[in-house]
Structure 1
Amino acid sequence: MRISTTIFLTDETITPVRLARELEERGFGGLYLPEHTHIPVERTTPYPAGGELPPEYGRTLDPFVALGQAAAVTSQLGLGTGITLVAEHDPIDLAKQIATLDHLSGGRFTLGVGFGWNREEAADHGVEWTTRRELTRDRMGLMRALWAPEPTPYKGEFGSVRASYAYPKPGGGAPRTLVGGAAGPKLFAHIADYADGWLPIGGRGLAQSLPVLRDVWSAAGRDPEKLQVVPYAVLPTPGKLAHYAELGVEEVVLQLPPAGEAEVLRVLDEFGQYL
């Protein structure tokens, strides 16, 4: 099982360069970074975990810039987003960012796709909340057209692109793509449509959810052996990781604190027992 990590990197935490070097030297599998462009002060959307929204949400570094720094100082470490708010991006620009990072890192990039929870943030990007999932699906289709080996046009409900020369191309025709979110028929349909697997936060209830996802995956004509499930933002225990292994999980992403260098390195020392 690969042991990867995620962290809210901010202007107050350990730097991407320092963290990436430590992760690779210690043998961790990857680094996944979340995304929030901004957090409107006048916010009515409740924090999904309950209580006050932690301050790091409004201080996150841009994940693609930070992962570019991490890529430049490592050679083996996996690099990913957990997650990219695809609906909040121009898909032509985003396709270029993703392909460039994947190319420069030697194919190490994983695109984590999410639909978001903060209505005010999405609204400032012009996103209609009730259609954000279909907007995301549409933008994934447009980006895949730009990543195609030959110039390929795309016309969707929300956007289009002419047949275009668009290089570099991600390795394998598209980056490894995992969709985050709570278990349910809508989410599983998205995973089976355009992704390589699921990025469930915390990994709770996998024993019940995985058979349902596998049925949806197989019904869509996808190879059962290729479905990937990567529990995300996990606070580990030996028993929890053993349970994931029994379910066939091959990678788990552990949560690091949004802290300075000394605290993050201390937690990495603790997580070393799971490598």
Structure 2
Amino acid sequence: MKFGTFHFPTHYGIDIAELAKALEDRGFESLFVCEHTHIPVSRRTPFPGGGDLPDRYYHTYDPFVGLSFAAAATETLRLGTGICLLPQHDPIVTAKATATLDLLSGGRFEFALGAGWNAEEMENHGVEYHTRFKVMEDKIKAIKALWTEEHAQYHGPFVDFDPVISSPKPAQSPHPPVLFGGETDHTLKRVVQLGDGWFPRAGPKFEPAEGMARLKRIAEEHDRKPSDFTVSVFRAPPDAAALESCREAGIDRVLFDVPDEGRDAVLELLDKYAKLIE
């Protein structure tokens, strides 16, 4: 089982390049960054975690720019979005940004996706809440075409373009891994139909053994093998017993939370995490 981290990169937290280097030096496998393009002032949509929206949600860097700095500071660290709110992104621009990041990092990028929860945020991008999952599916299909085809074209319900040349192409073949966030059977169907991996959140909606059993069942229903897909547990608790349950269930990767704090506090926490995973 691999050990990585997720992080909301902000201007007042540890520098993302320094964080990436510190993770690589301590033997961590990956860094995934969260994103929100913006936060509407209205706050009509309640925070799913309850209470006030944490400050870091307002201040996240652009994930692809931030990960580019992390890539330049490291050599082996896997770099991912965790998660990219794909319905809020232009698919042609996103295909180029992610392909460029994958190429310049030497094939280290992973694309974890989600549809989002903040209705007014996605509305500002012209996306309706009730169609957000359909938009996400349409856009990732278009992006895959742009990643893999020399004269890519795509004609879907939300994305439509005639043959184009999109360059560069990603370093990874056929393309960077596509991971879907969420815990429901609907998510798992997207994983086996459109993805390369599952990106569930640790918590009451995900229990490792039960989750892996559901993945096996749904994969086999679609004539796929569970081993075709990676499983990365987001927000994994830094607890030896919980980590052992993930390992026994066959989880491929767990991701610990790195807070949006200064370098001294973060480096001290990374040292504690490193001792736990030894």
TM over 0.5: yes
Alpha-carbon distance in 2 for matches of 1:178, 1:159: 20
Instruction: Give 2:250's aligned residue.
Output: 248
Structure 1 residue 150: Cα displacement? 3.2
**Which residues of 2 match residues 248-267 of structure 1 at below 5 A?**
248-267=250-269
Alpha-carbon distance in 1 for matches of 2:223, 2:96: 29
Give CA deviations for 1:201-256 in whole Å, capped at 9, x if unaligned. Answer: 12532322321222212222323322211101222111111100101112111111
Alpha-carbon distance in 2 for matches of 1:70, 1:23: 10
**Counterpart contact for 2:197–2:230, Cα < 8 Å:** yes
Report SS of the residue matched to 1:112: strand
Alpha-carbon distance in 1 for matches of 2:52, 2:7: 19
Report SS of the residue matched to 1:173: coil
Where in structure 1 are there 5+ consecutive unaligned residues? Answer: none
Instruction: Give 1:174's aligned residue.
Output: 175
Percent identical across equivalent pairs? 40
Structure 1 residue 184: Cα displacement? 2.1
Structure 1 residue 118: Cα displacement? 0.8
Alpha-carbon distance in 2 for matches of 1:80, 1:237: 23
Instruction: Give 1:152's aligned residue.
Output: 152
**Counterpart contact for 1:87–1:115, Cα < 8 Å:** yes
Instruction: Give 2:78's aligned residue.
Output: 78
The match for 2:238 among 236, 239, 242 is 236
Q: Which has the larger displacement, 167-176 or 135-144? A: 167-176
Alpha-carbon distance in 1 for matches of 2:15, 2:60: 12
AA aligned to 1:104 is L
**TM-score using structure 1 length:** 0.96
The match for 1:205 among 183, 193, 207 is 207
Alpha-carbon distance in 1 for matches of 2:163, 2:174: 16
**Counterpart contact for 2:17–2:73, Cα < 8 Å:** yes
**Counterpart contact for 2:6–2:255, Cα < 8 Å:** yes
Alpha-carbon distance in 2 for matches of 1:249, 1:186: 20
**Which residues of 2 match residues 1-275 of structure 1 at below 5 A?**
1-170=1-170, 171-181=172-182, 183-202=183-202, 204-273=206-275, 274-275=277-278
Q: Which has the larger displacement, 101-110 or 148-157? A: 148-157
**Counterpart contact for 1:154–1:162, Cα < 8 Å:** yes
**Counterpart contact for 2:215–2:226, Cα < 8 Å:** no
Alpha-carbon distance in 2 for matches of 1:212, 1:270: 33
Alpha-carbon distance in 1 for matches of 2:66, 2:102: 14
Structure 1 residue 51: Cα displacement? 1.0
Give CA deviations for 1:58-91 in whole Å, capped at 9, x if unaligned. Answer: 0111111010001011110010000001100010
Structure 1 residue 44: Cα displacement? 1.5
**Counterpart contact for 1:149–1:173, Cα < 8 Å:** no
**TM-score using structure 2 length:** 0.95
Measured on the aligned residues, the alpha-carbon RMSD in Å equals: 1.2
**Counterpart contact for 2:111–2:177, Cα < 8 Å:** yes
**Counterpart contact for 2:10–2:260, Cα < 8 Å:** yes
Structure 1 residue 149: Cα displacement? 3.9
Structure 1 residue 191: Cα displacement? 1.0
Find runs of 4+ consecutive structure 1 residues off by over 4 angstroms: none
Report SS of the residue matched to 1:150: coil
Alpha-carbon distance in 1 for matches of 2:116, 2:200: 14
Aligned residues: 274
